[in-house]
């Protein structure tokens, strides 16, 4: 009796299952839409540091590029104590993240352009011999200041031996997403007693020419 009951229940399940999958299936219907889509758009770069020259010194005339083709200073006939004058570059954080900014000098070449005055007598054994033989780098002082573009007020300044910036990133603060800053740049030829210079080393540094590029690096803060 119990087995018959179990058999009957099992049969009932089979019939129920057939009802759902077979018999009623022919009476179902589906309504569909056409093909839909979801496409992602381009996103602003997380770190996008742009640079510009400025004739007006306040970056109101900025034309933003990833890298400048030209330099921003070209000092000639520097005498001990002379500086390169005023050079300003503009930096813009065009990315979506606040950026931690560093400054360094790269592609530095110290060249002997001539052998003049007491240059050789002061101990320059490579006087007048060309590229990478100059002594001007250790006689240069490099300065940089972050300026408020509107007020020219200095917000952060660094300064010291040019040598310290060669291939060595130095912090110049952070730049918020969308923010623009003016960076004043200068080099100065040292006088004896500054940054380890002596009368002899300053003599050795005459008629030498240093070329370099400034590099600003932005890292998400
Ligand atoms: Ca030399
Ligand atoms: Ca020299």
**64 is a domain residue:** yes
Identify which ligand lies nearest to the alpha carbon of 201. 2
**43 is a domain residue:** no
User: What is the 131 CA–ligand 1 centroid distance (Å)?
Assistant: 9
* CA separation for the pair 84, 212 (Å, rounded): 14
Identify which ligand lies nearest to the alpha carbon of 139. 2
Residue 194 near residue 160 (C-beta atoms within 8 A)? no
User: What is the 21 CA–ligand 1 centroid distance (Å)?
Assistant: 94
Kindly report the CA angle at 127 between 122 and 133, in degrees rounded to 5? 115
Q: Which residues are close to ligand 1, an ion, with C-beta < 5 A?
A: 124, 126, 133
Range of the domain at 118: 49-220
Identify which ligand lies nearest to the alpha carbon of 207. 2
pLDDT tens digits, 173-194: 999 999 999 999 999 999 999 9
User: What is the 170 CA–ligand 2 centroid distance (Å)?
Assistant: 27
pLDDT tens digits, 6-49: 555 554 544 444 455 555 668 899 999 999 999 999 988 999 99
Based on the structure, what is the number of domains in the chain?
1
**14 is a domain residue:** no
Residue 5 DSSP symbol: H
User: What is the 79 CA–ligand 2 centroid distance (Å)?
Assistant: 13
SS3 74: coil
Q: For the whole model, what pTM was predicted? A: 0.83
Tens of pLDDT along the chain (221 residues) come to 455 545 555 545 444 444 555 556 688 999 999 999 999 999 889 999 999 999 999 999 999 999 999 999 999 999 999 999 989 999 999 999 999 999 999 999 999 999 999 999 999 999 999 999 999 999 999 999 999 999 999 999 999 999 999 989 999 999 999 999 999 999 999 999 999 999 999 999 999 999 999 999 999 99
**212 is a domain residue:** yes
User: What is the 45 CA–ligand 2 centroid distance (Å)?
Assistant: 45
Identify which ligand lies nearest to the alpha carbon of 206. 2
User: What is the 118 CA–ligand 1 centroid distance (Å)?
Assistant: 12
DSSP 16-47: HHHIIIIITGGG------------PPP---SS
Residues belonging to the chain: 221
User: What is the 144 CA–ligand 1 centroid distance (Å)?
Assistant: 27
Identify which ligand lies nearest to the alpha carbon of 208. 2
* CA separation for the pair 135, 122 (Å, rounded): 12
User: What is the 129 CA–ligand 1 centroid distance (Å)?
Assistant: 7
Identify which ligand lies nearest to the alpha carbon of 132. 1
* CA separation for the pair 199, 59 (Å, rounded): 40
* CA separation for the pair 82, 194 (Å, rounded): 13
């Amino acid at each position: 009796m119990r087995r018959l009951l179990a058999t009957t229940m099992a049969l009932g399940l089979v019939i129920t299952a057939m009802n759902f999958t077979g018999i009623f299936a022919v009476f179902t219907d589906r309504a569909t839409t056409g093909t839909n889509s979801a496409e992602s758009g381009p996103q602003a770069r997380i770190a996008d540091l742009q640079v510009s020259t400025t004739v007006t010194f306040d970056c109101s005339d900025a034309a933003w590029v990833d890298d400048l083709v030209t330099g921003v200073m070209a000092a000639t006939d520097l005498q001990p104590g002379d500086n390169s004058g005023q050079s300003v570059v503009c930096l813009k954080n065009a990315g979506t993240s606040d950026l931690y900014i560093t400054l360094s000098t790269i592609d530095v070449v110290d060249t002997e352009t001539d052998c003049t005055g007491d240059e050789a007598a002061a101990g320059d054994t490579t006087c007048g011999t060309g590229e990478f033989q100059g002594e001007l780098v250790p006689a240069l002082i490099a300065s940089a200041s972050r300026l408020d573009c509107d007020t020219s007020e200095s917000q952060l300044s660094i300064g010291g031996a040019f040598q310290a910036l060669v291939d060595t990133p130095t912090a110049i603060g952070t730049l918020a997403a969308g923010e623009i800053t003016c960076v004043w740049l200068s080099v100065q030829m040292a006088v004896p007693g500054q940054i380890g210079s002596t009368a002899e080393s300053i003599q050795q540094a005459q008629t030498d020419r240093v070329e370099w590029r400034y590099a600003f690096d932005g890292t998400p803060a």
